[in-house]
């Protein structure tokens, strides 16, 4: 495995640990997602690796974009175009992925968590599709992945209200597959990954491909639509108000302009 700037990759037995290392919030940009996608693709070619565990250093799993410094967002012509091209790659790899969620998975960070096959969380975890509070459209394929995992009605609840869902509620609605203590999060993830790894690897990959179906193609198609809507809404006063409020931690005032 090659060395990465913002993630580490360690293979222990049949399990691969991919850890995001941008603490405390692990804000993303296209370079981070590119590194994760590169690691996944490399691990696809490592026969010893049967399951990937995705985790993060610090307080939060991935708090989304750092709007004060986000170069992807500041590029007004193609916001997130490069990012979403990398995100699609995550859905095209073959090995099962378990995401260990110790804190906030917000916005695109939620999208990253949704790209995994399973999510293991603790009560301190927080999930939020906060786009509507930013005057923005969801991205990272969340328009497809969130309804697929928790159902259309619950997804609309999260997307329309942009509210934060705690770890316990996430488990109850199926957003988290298991819940455990923060201290036991990695151990629980390893135990579950080991159960998967004990099955025949080619059979697991075959079953995974069948169950996922054309998800990668759906995501690839929907991110083009998501991006076009983001570009349209980015020109509105509501978007400006939402971003400013997020930076100052105020309540945004939207005027449908």
pLDDT in tens, 116-161: 999 999 999 999 999 999 998 999 999 999 999 999 999 999 999 9
Placement of tokens 């709007």 in the chain: 67
Q: Which of 34, 40, 147 is nearest to 99 (CA)?
A: 40
Residue 211 lies in a domain: no
Q: Is 249 helix (H, G, I), strand (E, B) or coil?
A: coil
Residue 199 lies in a domain: no
Residue 146 lies in a domain: yes
What digits encode the pLDDT tens for the residues 169-190? 999 999 999 999 999 999 999 9
Residue 218 lies in a domain: no
**pLDDT for 74:** 54
DSSP assignment of 53-90 equals EEEESSS-SB----TTT-HHHH-SSSTTHHHHHHHHHH
pLDDT for residue 90 is more than 60: yes
Q: Please give the helix or strand (H or E) that residue 252 lies within, else none.
A: none
Residue 229 lies in a domain: no
What digits encode the pLDDT tens for the residues 19-63? 999 999 999 888 999 999 999 999 999 999 999 999 999 999 999
Q: Is 247 helix (H, G, I), strand (E, B) or coil?
A: helix
Structural domain harbouring 60:
7-183
The CATH number of whichever domain residue 145 belongs to comes to: 3.90.226.10
What digits encode the pLDDT tens for the residues 206-247? 999 999 999 999 999 999 999 999 989 988 999 889 888 888
Give how far Cα 3 sits from Cα of 8, 10, 39, Å.
Answer: 7, 11, 9
Q: Is 118 helix (H, G, I), strand (E, B) or coil?
A: strand
Placement of tokens 């599709």 in the chain: 129
Q: Say whether the peptide bond before residue 24 is cis (omega within 30 degrees of 0).
A: yes
pLDDT for residue 80 is more than 90: no
Residue 231 lies in a domain: no
| CA gap 156, 203 in Å, rounded | 35
Residue 158 lies in a domain: yes
Q: Which of 113, 98, 77, 62 is nearest to 194 (CA)?
A: 98
Residue 133 lies in a domain: yes
Within a 13 Å sphere around the CA of 230, how many CA atoms are in the beta-carbon half?
26
- How many separate domains does the chain show? 1
pLDDT for residue 70 is more than 80: no
Q: Which of 13, 3, 239, 22 is nearest to 133 (CA)?
A: 239
pTM: 0.93
């Amino acid at each position: 495995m090659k060395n990465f700037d913002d993630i580490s990759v360690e293979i222990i037995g049949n399990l691969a640990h991919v850890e995001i290392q941008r603490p405390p919030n692990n804000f993303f940009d296209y370079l981070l997602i590119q590194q994760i996608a590169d690691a996944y693709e490399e691990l696809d070619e490592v026969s010893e690796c049967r399951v990937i565990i995705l985790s993060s250093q610090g307080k939060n799993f991935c708090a989304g974009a750092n709007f004060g410094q986000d170069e992807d967002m500041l590029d007004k012509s193609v916001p997130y175009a490069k990012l979403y091209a990398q995100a699609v790659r995550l859905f095209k790899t073959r090995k099962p992925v378990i995401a260990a969620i110790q804190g906030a998975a917000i916005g695109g960070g939620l999208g990253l968590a949704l790209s995994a096959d399973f999510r293991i969380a603790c009560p301190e975890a927080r999930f939020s599709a906060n786009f509507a509070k930013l005057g923005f459209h969801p991205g990272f394929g969340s328009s497809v992945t969130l309804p697929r995992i928790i159902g259309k009605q619950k997804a609309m609840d999260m997307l329309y209200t942009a509210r934060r869902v705690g770890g316990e509620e996430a488990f109850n609605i199926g957003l988290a597959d298991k819940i455990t203590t923060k201290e036991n999060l990695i151990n629980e993830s390893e135990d579950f990954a080991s159960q998967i790894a004990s099955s025949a690897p080619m059979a697991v990959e075959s079953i995974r491909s069948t169950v996922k179906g054309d998800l990668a193609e759906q995501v690839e198609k929907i991110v083009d639509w998501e991006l076009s809507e983001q570009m349209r809404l980015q020109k509105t006063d509501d978007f400006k108000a939402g971003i400013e409020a997020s930076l100052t931690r105020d309540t945004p005032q939207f005027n449908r302009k």
